[in-house]
Structure 1
Amino acid sequence: MSTLPEEIAAGLESHDAFARADDAFALETTVFETQIDAEPAPDKRAGRFHVTVTLPTLDAAVAGETVASVVEDGWFETLERRLEDVYTVAYTDTHDDPVVEREASNVTVSLEYSAWDAGEGVEDAKTLVEYVEGTYAQGIIPGYEYRGPAATLLENAQGRGQQASEGESGGMPM
């Protein structure tokens, strides 16, 4: 990747949710490994963003047992289908289709889009990663014991649920 456009680098650096990670940035508000990068756009847009999120496969997220291949395949196909709508939460309307690739223990989600405004592009990066994280969380199958990022997502959700039941404000119930 080439050097980040100055305006985008400044937007990422000043945003409290991002931290520099080598030549790119990482979103610090997610449990997953992320990489946010950008390059100058060929037109008058602020830049072309590249967002990568690395997720564990279902089998890699389950502790102590192997997930049947039919379950793993169905889980992955559902994840792919759900992520087709990822850009519905973004400002951008100029984007490539999401690329979702599965390896032995990881799923890599690659998102590329152009932004007219650096600030909107930075906000889109955060929103898109959060959408991927939420979509992953929706796909957690009950009945398994989880480890790593999946376990952290479940613990965070349970913690928020306990706070809400104790009368702490956690937002509007659904």
Structure 2
Amino acid sequence: MTDERVQRAFREHPDFEEADDGRFETPEKPFPGVVSVTDAEDDGEGTSDAYSVEVRTPMLDAVVEGEEVAEVVEDGWFETLELRLEDAHTVTNADAAPPDVEREGDEVVVTVEFASSDPEQAVEDALAVVEYVEGTWVQGIIPGYDYREPAAGLRERARQNYDEDGSGGPGGSDGPAESGGAPL
């Protein structure tokens, strides 16, 4: 069981909910993160809780609608995603370990671990990891496929953000992928 300060920090954050097993989740995110916390240990420099953030995303073939992604494409896509996620630990203010990125069936499992003595900052660090994984995953979407959720919704949201920020071109374009720009 985590201490009251940690529980309060997660409970008070609008993006987190406490799960039945004592972990904390981001259920409203397209790829929910799950945070496990181990009670503080005194390392001689003060006490720090250990945090483990796990984010599961689908493999490309799991979100492509109506066709099967060739194995060579799927493998290349995963290898590229894995390389892009190497920096996931750098979004934390804590001294985090480089991520563990695993392929488990039709999912990618990303785990980042860090220690922190500041529960409020740890919550922000955990959320930053979840959002980094999501954004990195979205950047890897390959144009030319029809996608189902959550990829379809993420692409649509990216298109809307692209148009709303004024960079959609004259009269607004359908987004970067359709206008010849960088793929989503």
TM range (shorter): 0.7 to 0.9
**Structure 1 residue 18 displacement after superposition:** 1.0
* Shift, 1:52, TM fit: 0.8
Q: 2: distance between equivalents of 1:57 and 1:162?
A: 28
Cα deviation, 1:113-147, whole Å, max 9, x if unaligned, reads: 10121111111001111111111011111111111
Structure 1 residues 116 and 75 mapped into 2: Cα distance closer, same or farther (>3 Å)?
Answer: same
> Which has the higher relative contact order, 1 or 2, with Cα contacts under 8 A spaced 6 or more apart?
1
Structure 2 match to 1:157:
158
Asked if the contact 2:52–2:114 (Cα under 8 Å) also holds between the matched residues in 1, the reply is: yes
Alignment of 1:20-169 (within 5 A): 20-22=18-20, 23-43=22-42, 44-93=46-95, 95-165=96-166
2: CA distance, partners of 1:151 / 1:6: 39
Q: CA RMSD in A?
A: 1.8
Any gaps of 5 or more consecutive residues in structure 1? 167-174
Structure 2 letter corresponding to 1:128: V
Q: Which amino acid aligns with 2:68?
A: T
Task: Decide whether the 8 Å contact of 1:4 with 1:37 is kept in 2.
Answer: no
Aligned equivalents of 2:162 and 2:52: distance in 1? Answer: 34
Which stretch shifts more, 104-113 or 130-139?
Answer: 104-113
Q: Does the 8 A contact of 1:96 with 1:112 survive in 2?
A: yes
Structure 2: 5+ residue runs without aligned partners?
169-184
Q: What is the percent sequence identity of the aligned residues?
A: 45
SS of residue paired to 2:9: helix
1:62-113 deviations in whole A, cap 9, x for unaligned?
11111111111111111111111112221011x3331111122111111111
Question: Higher Cα Rg: structure 1 or 2?
Answer: 2
Q: 2:124 corresponds to which letter in structure 1?
A: E
Measure the CA separation in 2 of the matches of 1:124 and 1:87: 9
How has the CA–CA distance of structure 1 residues 45 and 152 changed in structure 2, closer, same or farther, with 3 Å as cutoff?
Answer: farther
Q: Distance in 1 between matches of 2:150 and 2:124?
A: 23
Q: Distance in 1 between matches of 2:103 and 2:36?
A: 22
Letter in 2 for 1:61: V
Q: Report the secondary structure of 1:42's partner residue.
A: strand
- Find 1:8's aligned residue among 2, 6, 15: 6
Q: State the 1:33 CA deviation.
A: 2.5
